[in-house]
Amino acid sequence: MTAATGDEVAVRHRSLDTIRGFAVMGILLMNIVAFAMPEMAYVSPAVYGSDGPADYWAWTAMFIAVDGKMRGLFSVLFGASMLLVYERAQQSAGNGRAVHVRRMLCLLVFGLIHFYLIWFGDILVLYALCGLLGTFVLTRETRWLKRAMIVFFTLHFLVMAGLSLAMLAIKWAATQPGATLETMTSYRETLTEIAPGGQAIAQEIALFRGDYLSFVRHNLTESLFHPLEFFLQGSLETMGLIALGIILFRNGFLTGQWSRQRYRRAMLLGYSIGVPPLAALAAWVWSSGFDPFVVLGTFIAWSMPFRIAVMLGHAALLMLVIQRFAESGALERVEAAGKAAFSNYLGTSILMTGLFYGWGLGWFGRLSRWQCLLVVPFVWLLMLLWSKPWLERFRYGPLEWLWRSLARGEVQAMRKSSIAIRSQTS
């Protein structure tokens, strides 16, 4: 491959930032129900927050097009960014591995603060720990990464499928004549965890509509090990996605080097492989009456291979959009949102908990599923409105600057020169 010119490198980095902008916006679309309702409502509309067919169809649309895909895209971009930062540091000072490790340790601290003090749905701890593990794959050749990716994805699927089958076995055993008391107890305990009843739902609503100190106390006691549990549940898939991100960065997919025809083929292939099975799984969930065992198994296991395919279809579609509208003002704003993705991600958590939790407006549990979705475009608009003007004057988003300064051990220059500002705004 020939060396890229400065302009080509700039375009490639713009494509990464723009996809990241779409991804951070998509993360909110994915997470809005988790901000607004009891935890298991995210998995199943039958648990809470569904008043009619519109809510069940909203769940179906999110299941097929959004859930797992935006997180997957964000994880792929995380892997690509890991490699990019490592290579830059290695070329400039020969300390790529040290810079990477410091960045991940700082990210771990941010994630723990995010989880314990802001929102239980944090993903930064998972990324930081997987990023530390990823230190050992950054310099591996692409062929090795492809094998490792397949192993990670396969192991994750087998673990989740085994868990889903075990739960179905518990349900089956409890429905058989002569089921023992131990079997029935195990079934009821499992059912309570995946489909909490009225009392558990009421307690959860009371917690998130309550005062801030009670929320923090709960996180530091009842949910103390939740970030570690989330890491154990999601690390294999995330490591596979990180490896995929490195591969897609190296082969030019994420940097705009493919032709439109090739991106179009990738999009059609991803959607052809992923969408029909996901639609069939959604139909199975509907036909089961949203049986909690069927819903959870579908969510954590059976949809996994197909959501990765759809995620890749989304990525190819976004690259087509970027190639077609690279100079549009709208995409420039999305690009800016991607450059400030860390600030937008944590800022969204602060804003959403301010809307839904008790120390804010207290909307938690008060909106149905489809009504929650109406909040999302307003937050997207806010992201697009602030990010570009900020980055016209400053080098980094606020939290990007803090992360960079902490990771490098010195305060980074923040404000752009007046000449740079004039050149951007002219």
Identify whether 403 is part of a domain.
Answer: yes
Q: What is the pTM of this model?
A: 0.93
Q: What is the pLDDT of residue 5?
A: 39
Separation between Cα atoms, residue 261 and residue 323, nearest integer Å: 12
CB 365 within 8 A of CB 48: yes
Task: Give the integer Cα–Cα distance in Å for 18 and 344.
Answer: 14
- Domain range holding 167? 6-425
Kind plus residue range of the DSSP H or E element containing 84? helix 69-93
- To the nearest 5 percent, what fractions of the chain are helix, strand and coil? 75, 0, 20
- Tell me what pLDDT residue 420 has: 55
Looking up tokens 């929650």, which residue turns up?
A: 372
Q: Is the alpha carbon torsion for 253, 255, 256, 257 positive or negative?
A: negative
Q: Alpha-carbon distance 365 to 290, whole Å? A: 20
Q: Secondary structure of 18-78 in the HEC alphabet? A: HHHHHHHHHHHHHHHHHHHCCHHHHCCCCCCCCCCHHHHHHHHHHHHHCCCHHHHHHHHHH
What pLDDT does 92 receive? 85
Q: Does the structure show a pLDDT above 60 at 349?
A: yes
Quick check: 320 and 260 in contact, CB under 8 A? yes
| 220-273 per-position pLDDT tens digit | 999 999 999 999 999 999 999 999 999 999 999 999 999 999 999 999 999 999
What's the average model confidence in pLDDT over 165-193? 93
Neighbours of 133 (CB within 10 A): 15
What's the CA gap between 75 and 422, in Å, rounded?
Answer: 35
The pLDDT score that the predictor gives to residue 12 is 44
pLDDT digits (tens, 9 = 90+) for 321-344: 999 998 899 999 999 999 999 999
Instruction: Quickly tell me which residue has 């909040």 as its tokens.
Output: 375
Could you tell me what percent of the chain has a pLDDT over 70? Answer: 95
Report how far residue 203's alpha carbon sits from residue 267's, in angstroms, rounded to the nearest whole number: 44
Tell me the average pLDDT across 351-371: 97
Residue 104 falls inside a structural domain: yes
Q: Is 1 inside a domain boundary? A: no
**For residues 322-342, b (16+ Cβ closer than 10 Å) or e, as one string?**
beeeeeeeebbbbbbbbbbbb
Q: What are phi and psi of 245, to 5 degrees?
A: -60, -40
Answer yes or no: is 45 within a domain: yes
User: Tokens 């302009």 — which residue?
Assistant: 7
Q: 249, 259 in Cβ contact below 8 A?
A: no
Number of domains in the chain: 1
d(CA 150, CA 163): 20
Least confident of 9-13, 63-67, 214-218, 399-403: 9-13
CA distance 152 to 140: 15
Would you place residue 283 in the very low, low, confident or very high pLDDT band (cuts 50, 70, 90)?
very high
pLDDT the model gives residue 7: 41
Residue 201 has what pLDDT?
95
Query: CA 236 → CA 153, 239, 311, distances in Å?
Result: 7, 5, 17
In a domain, 15, yes or no: yes
